[in-house]
Structures are given as structure tokens and as C-alpha cells.
Amino acid sequence: MAEAEILSAPMVVEYPFSRTVGPVQSAFLTGLREGLVLGVRTGDGRVLCPPVEYDPVTSEELGELVELGDTGTVTTWSWEPSPRPNQPLDRPFAWALVRMDGADTGLLHVLDAGSPDRVSTGMQVRVRWADQREGAITDIACFEPA
Amino acid sequence: MSPVQLPPALQDVEPVRSIRTPARLEYTFTAGRATSRFLRGIQSHKILGERCGTCGKVILPPRGSCPIDGVPTSEQVELPDRGIVTTFCVVNVKFSGSAMELPYVCATVLPDGGDMGLFGMIQEIPFDQVRMGMRVEAVWVEDDQLTHDLASIKWWRPTGEPDAAYETYREHV
């Protein structure tokens, strides 16, 4: 049988999950929707961003949310030369861990820098907010060089 | 009780309670030679299995080899569009994209002369009267709507014949 006679068809498998977020992620996502980046303060004074419900070191329950600015520092990054469909940007970008100013931990997001030559560990970056915000991590459209 | 203390700017706004996190996989399924023959058979209103030369079982839908012996299958066998329900389940949960009215029954139907079952739905009988061993026949779409897709069999319905004895299909359950 010739190859041309072999059938093929497009397939889609999709699981339309949704989940509840708990009190701390709720505050974080509500903050993003309102244009605020929040961290959470631990008992020993560190600030975790993104905030979590329990201290990863002491297991202590956390809840003191603090407002951070919209700038931070790239602590590590990886260049994405050929973005796939549904990735945050349709042009080459960097995946970056951003330590927000005033925080002690990193937030994984996307940096729109145009070229890997313009990305370096330690560089300052700023939030670019999405035009339409709905309470999701994508409310931060990306980071951009500050 | 939550110890969460919100900043003033968030104390009077509607909180986010949940997020959507869909997982989606888009791909192209290539049927291969044997399954292409089977699907073209479906388009022609036929159920075509393939017999294994070693164990003699009729594989359905055929994949070009026997899953028991690992040898290529080559003999085409046309099976009737009648058979028995070997196993089934009553679906009570609505799946996104499904237009089926709840509850409905999904089943494995073993065509007469075949050794593997086809997945299908059982209709034209109340859901709580479907049973293992029940004899059924395929209800096809109109001829001008036949296509190389198992959806060409809309569902299976009872024939009214006596149920098959469990011993006759126990190896297929």
C-alpha cells in the first residue's frame, strides 16, 4: 500500500482543569489583578515571592502579605529561541527567575529582551502588566529590562 | 482559620478563588497500514479484522501484528456487525464536549467471530437494563455520511436474542 493511502487525522486531548487556590495564592492573584505584586513575610523576616501558605523551612503557617514594587533582579535565566504555540510570547524571549525588590526568593516568568545579548544575571527588570487582567500569573504579561 | 492579612488595597475587592489550568495536547494520529484498511472498511459499512496465523485469533481493530504472538497478521476477515456486550459502564458524569444525555452506557462489543472488542455506546434500551452477554447489533450513520471513523457506528442496540452464556466470552472480559 502506498504511503499516500495511510490515513492520518488531527487529534486533541484536553483536560479542562480548574482548581481553588487557597488564601495566600488567592491574595497574590487578586493583587496581580489589581496591579500589585505581593510577597509573604516569614517568622524570621524573609519575604517570599511568589508567596506560599507555609514556610518551606519551618512549616510555620504564613499570612502577612507585603506589597512589593514592580521591579526586580534576574538571578538566573535561559534563552528560548523558538517559542512554541501558547507560550507567553510569540517571539524569542528569556525564561527568568526574578527576585523582586524587597523579596528574598525568585519568581519564574518571562523576560522580553529581544536578544540574549541583552540578558544578564543581575540585570534590573520591571513588570509589564497585561492589558486585560483576570487574576492569573499571566496578568504579568512579561518582564522587560528596567 | 486563616491568618492572612491583606494589604489595604485588597480588602474591599472580590478575591480570586480559583484558576483554570487546562492541559492540552494537539497531535496528528497516523493510523498505519492495517488500521487504515480497517477504517476504510468502516467507511464501506464493513468490520474488518485480521487473523493471526499462529494463534488463529481475529484481531480488532487490527494493528498489523498479533499482540499475543508478535507475528504479522495478513488474512483479512470480515466480521458481522452483530455481537455481544462483554463489559460496560454507566456514565453519570458530563464530560466537556460531550452531547450525550446522562446517564448513558459505554461498552465493549465483541463482534461474532472476533477475538477483541470494539468500544461503543449502547442505546435503544434503558441504561439499567444493559448487561454482560447481551446480544447487540450496530446502528450505522446514513450511507452518505459513512466515513473512515468509528463514529460511523452511532451506537449498538439490543437484537432481542437470548443472552450469550458467560462461558462463551469469558476469555474476552
Q: Note the pLDDT tens digit of each residue in A93-125.
A: 999 999 999 999 999 999 999 999 999 999 999
ipTM, 2 decimals? 0.82
pLDDT tier at B96 (50, 70, 90 boundaries)? low
The CA distance from B20 to the nearest CA of chain A, in Å, is: 4
Confidence band (pLDDT; 50, 70, 90) for A86?
Answer: confident
Contact A27 B10 (CB under 8 A): yes
User: Looking at the partner chain, which of A11, A18, A23 has a beta carbon nearest the beta carbon of B29?
Assistant: A11
Domain extents in chain B: 32-172
Joined together, the cell numbers standing for residue B146 give 459513512
Mean pLDDT confidence for A27-38:
97
pTM for this prediction: 0.69
Asked whether the beta carbons of residue B24 and residue A15 sit closer than 8 angstroms, the reply is yes
Domain boundaries, chain A: 20-145
Please say whether the beta carbons of B136 and B82 come within 8 A: yes
pLDDT at B161 (0 to 100): 97
Contact A1 B19 (CB under 8 A): no
How confident is residue B1, by pLDDT bands cut at 50, 70 and 90? very low
What pLDDT is stored for residue B127 in this prediction? 96
Given an 8 Å threshold on Cβ–Cβ distance, is B36 in contact with A23?
Answer: no
Q: Looking at beta carbons, which residues of chain A come within 8 Å of B35?
A: 7
pLDDT in tens, B10-67: 999 999 999 999 898 999 999 999 999 999 999 999 999 999 999 999 999 999 999 9
Collect all residues of chain B within an 8 Å Cβ-Cβ radius of residue A63.
Answer: 2-5
- For residue B154, pLDDT beyond 80: yes
Which of B1, B2, B4, B6 to probe the A interface (max A CBs under 10 A)? B4
The nearest CA of chain A is from the CA of B170 a distance in Å of: 33
| A75-101 mean pLDDT | 96
Count of pairs with CB atoms under 8 A, one residue in A, one in B: 115
CB proximity list for B35: less than 8 A, separation 6 or greater? A7, B61, B62, B63, B64
**Whole-number pLDDT of residue A1:** 47
